[in-house]
């Protein structure tokens, strides 16, 4: 019969037993010598800290231990952390790995000790846990005048796989008003605290329902979802935008909302939330706070030394069950968060940031937009997070899209405000792509405009306009030619001056020759243009003729001043006489030039 019985047990059972033995083996002999538990229920979170003195009463060294959570509490767990209290008052945090313990319900974590514990040795461990949505409003619906009461249901004892020698439990509440609390072991209550214990010799996995019903008017707001978008630009900016859905998860408002009472009586709607503070990084700039229907005018910004504080005031006070939605965004300088070595880049930025004190985020979505062309992306997260399929994002001047990393996580609290590091490679040449694109675009634009202006698209011929255009182009040419010719004279003056100093007749003669030659060609060109103007029937031809006449006189003057200089150098004329004649000549020239100028202006 016995044989049959063993036959019926599936082999998996043996495997499980083996597992259990292994798990209990490494912990065998461990005892919680002294446990100090603190239940902080003063906010809308349940923060449970336990300071445990572990002792190894076994025969062998122990390299790790197991942490346990009650099955009722486990789904609410937002954060768990364990640290060893060293002698030098320096806490060393331990790495936790989730495990299972056969035959026991709940959630278990395996903590690895930095150095194994010898038989008989003791160790002080601090375990910190944060639970969200543990405090249930009761009654669930209250009126505006009523105060908010909540119920906490937990365990009087430390839930542990090891026997406990002695333990105390201290509960911190949000107010003095307590409706009821379980009275195990005659607890003492003073002001806002209830102290249980000490309980002696508690066996492993002990549970005894603790229930506290008390007043708690702290802001019961929950971020039901937040989407945090971080857009990195290599031009020196990181843009952060958070889209937040906020909900008051306390007792629902029953009946009317009276603005009169709310404004008159300070304790009316005491559990409602009017505003809260969001702390942004110190270098945050261009902060905006808006929603679907525009800018929210009720907010204050305060720039402090080490942070930027935004007083976020939703459009309306949040009562129980009410919700709101808003967007907050700001810019950060990238040099504080982006590091590079050649083409290797590393971005170190907070995965989630502060929204309000004691925050709870039910659902977080992080979108990290990297610059276009970033490759070999590798992400280091401070805690496990679910990565979704990468996306592509297109914005101004993008051609093949920016890579977007998407990650989600549920149930986060303040302890999750930690840095994420993203490594990627980026070719710096790609930085030039966008400016070049703009340049090219403008080039094409101007080019088309030039082409459009140069070509005649009209189907009818307008002879008058054509003549006008022709005349305009001819006068344009005349202008440049005349200016050039005037330039020749100025050049000749320089030649003469140099001659007066160097007395080099050869240079003067060659200068005169070039003047003659160039002047002839220019004058011929102008005459030709004048003839064309005449042919077009424009009266400007006469003016050009006048310019030609004046120019002849001008040229004569230039020649004369040249001759005078020669005579001076040859000693045929005295210096005083030369200066006099030069003055009159230049005066005449000035007059001629100004007359030519005024004629040119009239063209």
Partner 1 sequence: TRSCLLCVKMTKLGFLRLSYEKQDTLLKLLILSMAAHPNTCLNELFLVGSYFNYRTTRFLTEEGFYKFHNWFDDRAWYPLGRIIGGTIYPGLMITSAALYHVLHFFHITIDIRNVCVFLAPLFSSFTAIVTYHFTKELKDAGAGLLAAAMIAVVPGYISRSVAGSYDNEGTILSQRYVVYSNAFKKASIGKVLEFVKYQIETYTLLFKSLVLFLYWLMLGKISPWTGRFYSLLDPSYAKNNIPIIASVSEHQPTTWSSYYFDLQLLVFMFPVGLYYCFNNLSDATIFIIMYGVTSMYFSAVMVRLMLVLAPVMCILSGIGVSQVLTTYMKNLDVSRPDKKSKKQQDSTYPIKNEVASGMILVMAFFLITYTFHSTWVTSEAYSSPSIVLSARGGDGSRIIFDDFREAYYWLRHNTPEDAKVMSWWDYGYQITAMANRTILVDNNTWNNTHISRVGQAMASTEEKAYEIMRELDVSYVLVIFGGLTGYSSDDINKFLWMVRIGGSTDTGRHIKEHDYYTPTGEFRVDREGSPVLLNCLMYKMCYYRFGQVYTEAKRPPGYDRVRNAEIGNKDFELDVLEEAYTTEHWLVRIYKVKDLDNRGLSRT
d(CA 205, CA 68): 8
- If one asks whether residue 116 binds partner 1 (CB under 8 A), the answer comes out as no
d(CA 20, CA 242): 46
Closer Cβ to partner 1, 202 or 529, answer by number: 529
Report whether 221 contacts 239 (CB < 8 A). Answer: no
d(CA 86, CA 96): 18
Give 393's strand partners: 402
DSSP code at position 239: E
DSSP 352-367: S--SSTT-EEEEEEEE
- State in angstroms the smallest separation of the CB of 55 from partner 1: 55
Closer Cβ to partner 1, 318 or 492, answer by number: 318
Pick the closest to residue 157 from 167, 171, 144 (CA basis): 167
Give 300's strand partners: 311
d(CA 191, CA 172): 9
For 304-343, strand residue ranges (E) read 307-312, 323-333, 338-341
- If one asks whether residue 256 binds partner 1 (CB under 8 A), the answer comes out as yes
- State in angstroms the smallest separation of the CB of 410 from partner 1: 22
Closer Cβ to partner 1, 7 or 460, answer by number: 460
Closer Cβ to partner 1, 412 or 474, answer by number: 474
Closer Cβ to partner 1, 46 or 296, answer by number: 296
- Bridge-based pairing state of the strands 46-56 and 30-40: antiparallel
Closer Cβ to partner 1, 56 or 249, answer by number: 249
Binding to partner 1 (CB under 8 A) within 400-429 occurs at none
Per-residue x/- track, 583-602, partner 1 (CB under 8 A): --------------x--x--
Binding to partner 1 (CB under 8 A) within 277-306 occurs at 291-298
Closer Cβ to partner 1, 59 or 602, answer by number: 602
Closer Cβ to partner 1, 390 or 476, answer by number: 476
- Bridge-based pairing state of the strands 252-253 and 141-142: parallel
Residues 6+ apart with CB under 8 A from 282: 304, 305, 306, 307, 308
267-305 core/surface letters (b: 16 or more CB in 10 A; e: else): ebbebbbeebebbbbeebeebebebeeeebeebeeeeee
- If one asks whether residue 398 binds partner 1 (CB under 8 A), the answer comes out as yes
Question: Which of these ranges, 48-56, 231-239, 256-264, 279-287, lies near partner 1 under the rule CB under 8 A?
Answer: 256-264
- If one asks whether residue 446 binds partner 1 (CB under 8 A), the answer comes out as no
Of 176, 183, 259, 583, the residue at the interface with partner 1 (CB under 8 A) is 259
98 alpha carbon, distance to own chain's centre: 35
Secondary structure (3-state) at 411:
strand
- State in angstroms the smallest separation of the CB of 256 from partner 1: 4
Question: Which of these ranges, 161-169, 322-330, 562-570, 574-582, lies near partner 1 under the rule CB under 8 A?
Answer: 322-330
- State in angstroms the smallest separation of the CB of 471 from partner 1: 10
Q: Is omega for the bond preceding 273 within 30 degrees of 0, making it cis? A: no
Closer Cβ to partner 1, 296 or 310, answer by number: 296
- If one asks whether residue 479 binds partner 1 (CB under 8 A), the answer comes out as yes
- If one asks whether residue 91 binds partner 1 (CB under 8 A), the answer comes out as no
- State in angstroms the smallest separation of the CB of 257 from partner 1: 6
Of 97, 102, 315, 378, the residue at the interface with partner 1 (CB under 8 A) is 315
d(CA 450, CA 112): 75
Give 92's strand partners: 84
- State in angstroms the smallest separation of the CB of 301 from partner 1: 16
Closer Cβ to partner 1, 134 or 232, answer by number: 232
- State in angstroms the smallest separation of the CB of 424 from partner 1: 21
What Cα–Cα distance (Å) separates residue 73 from each residue in 42, 135, 152, 196, 553? 18, 11, 11, 20, 111
- State in angstroms the smallest separation of the CB of 473 from partner 1: 10
Question: Which of these ranges, 159-167, 258-266, 423-431, 505-513, lies near partner 1 under the rule CB under 8 A?
Answer: 258-266
Please provide the size of the chain in residues: 603
- If one asks whether residue 8 binds partner 1 (CB under 8 A), the answer comes out as no
Binding to partner 1 (CB under 8 A) within 323-382 occurs at 323-325
Start-to-end Cα distance in the chain: 129
Question: Which of these ranges, 55-63, 120-128, 185-193, 249-257, lies near partner 1 under the rule CB under 8 A?
Answer: 249-257
Name the burial class of residue 452, with classes exposed (0-12), middle (13-18) and buried (19+) by CB atoms within 10 angstroms of its CB: exposed
Report whether 165 contacts 82 (CB < 8 A). Answer: no
Closer Cβ to partner 1, 8 or 297, answer by number: 297
- If one asks whether residue 573 binds partner 1 (CB under 8 A), the answer comes out as no
Question: Which of these ranges, 395-403, 424-432, 511-519, 585-593, lies near partner 1 under the rule CB under 8 A?
Answer: 395-403
- In 10 A of CB 51, how many CB atoms? 15
- If one asks whether residue 450 binds partner 1 (CB under 8 A), the answer comes out as no
Name the burial class of residue 584, with classes exposed (0-12), middle (13-18) and buried (19+) by CB atoms within 10 angstroms of its CB: exposed
Closer Cβ to partner 1, 246 or 496, answer by number: 246
d(CA 345, CA 420): 14
- State in angstroms the smallest separation of the CB of 437 from partner 1: 10
- State in angstroms the smallest separation of the CB of 506 from partner 1: 36
- State in angstroms the smallest separation of the CB of 395 from partner 1: 5
Of 114, 120, 255, 440, the residue at the interface with partner 1 (CB under 8 A) is 255
> Judged by CB under 8 A, how many residues of this single chain contact partner 1?
36
Pick the closest to residue 598 from 539, 547, 529, 530 (CA basis): 547
Q: Which positions lie near partner 1, rule CB under 8 A?
A: 255-260, 291-298, 315-316, 321-325, 394-399, 460, 472, 475-476, 479, 483, 597, 600, 603
């Amino acid at each position: 019969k016995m044989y049959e019985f063993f036959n019926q047990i599936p082999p998996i059972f043996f495997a499980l037993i083996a597992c259990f033995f292994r798990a209990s083996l490494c912990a065998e002999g461990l005892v919680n010598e002294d446990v100090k538990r603190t239940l902080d229920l003063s906010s809308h979170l349940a923060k449970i800290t336990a300071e445990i003195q572990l002792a190894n009463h076994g025969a062998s060294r122990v390299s790790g231990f197991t942490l346990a959570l009650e099955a009722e509490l486990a789904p609410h767990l937002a954060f768990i952390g364990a640290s060893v209290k060293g002698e030098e008052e320096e806490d060393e945090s331990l790495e936790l790995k989730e495990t299972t313990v056969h035959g026991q319900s709940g959630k278990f974590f395996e903590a690895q000790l930095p150095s194994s514990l010898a038989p008989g040795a003791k160790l002080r461990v601090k375990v910190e846990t944060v639970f969200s949505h543990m405090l249930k409003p009761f009654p669930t619906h209250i009126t505006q005048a009523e105060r908010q009461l909540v119920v906490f249901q937990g365990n009087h004892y430390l839930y542990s796989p090891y026997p406990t020698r002695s333990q105390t439990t201290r509960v911190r509440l949000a107010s003095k008003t307590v409706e009821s609390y379980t009275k195990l072991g005659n607890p003492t209550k003073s002001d806002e605290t209830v102290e249980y214990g000490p309980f002696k010799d508690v066996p492993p996995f002990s549970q005894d329902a603790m229930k506290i019903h008390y007043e708690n008017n702290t802001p019961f707001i929950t971020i039901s979802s937040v989407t945090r978008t971080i857009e990195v630009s290599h031009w020196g900016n990181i843009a952060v935008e958070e889209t937040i859905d906020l909900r008051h998860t306390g007792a629902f408002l029953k009946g009317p909302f009276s603005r009169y009472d709310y404004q008159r009586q300070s304790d009316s709607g005491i559990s409602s939330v009017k505003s809260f503070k969001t702390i942004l990084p110190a270098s945050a700039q261009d902060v905006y706070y808006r929603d679907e229907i525009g800018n929210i005018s009720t907010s204050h910004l305060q720039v402090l030394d080490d942070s930027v504080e935004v007083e976020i005031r939703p459009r309306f006070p949040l009562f129980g069950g009410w919700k709101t939605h808003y967007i907050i965004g700001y810019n950060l300088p990238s040099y504080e968060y982006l590091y590079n070595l050649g083409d290797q880049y590393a971005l170190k930025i907070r995965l989630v940031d502060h929204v309000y004190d004691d925050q709870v985020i039910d659902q977080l979505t992080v979108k990290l937009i990297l610059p276009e062309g970033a490759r070999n992306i590798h992400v280091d997260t401070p805690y496990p997070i679910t990565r979704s399929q990468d996306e592509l994002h297109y914005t101004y001047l993008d051609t093949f899209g920016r890579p977007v990393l998407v990650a989600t996580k549920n149930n986060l609290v303040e302890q999750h405000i930690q840095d994420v590091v993203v490594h990627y490679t980026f070719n710096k040449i790609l930085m030039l792509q966008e400016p070049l694109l703009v340049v090219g675009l403008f080039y094409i634009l101007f080019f088309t405009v030039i082409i459009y202006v140069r070509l005649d698209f009209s189907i009818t011929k307008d002879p008058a306009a054509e003549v006008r255009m022709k005349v305009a182009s001819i006068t344009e040419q005349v202008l440049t030619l005349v200016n050039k010719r005037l330039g020749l004279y100025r050049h000749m003056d320089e030649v003469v001056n140099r001659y007066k100093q160097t007395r080099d007749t050869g240079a003067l003669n060659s200068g005169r020759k070039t003047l003659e030659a160039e002047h002839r060609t220019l004058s011929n060109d102008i005459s030709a243009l004048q003839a064309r103007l005449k042919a077009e029937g424009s009266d400007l031809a006469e003016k050009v003729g006048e310019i030609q006449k004046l120019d002849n006189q001008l040229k004569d003057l230039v020649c004369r001043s040249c001759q005078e200089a020669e005579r001076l150098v040859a000693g045929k004329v005295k210096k005083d006489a030369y200066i006099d004649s030069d003055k009159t000549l230049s005066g005449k020239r000035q007059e001629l030039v100004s007359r030519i100028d005024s004629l040119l202006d009239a063209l």
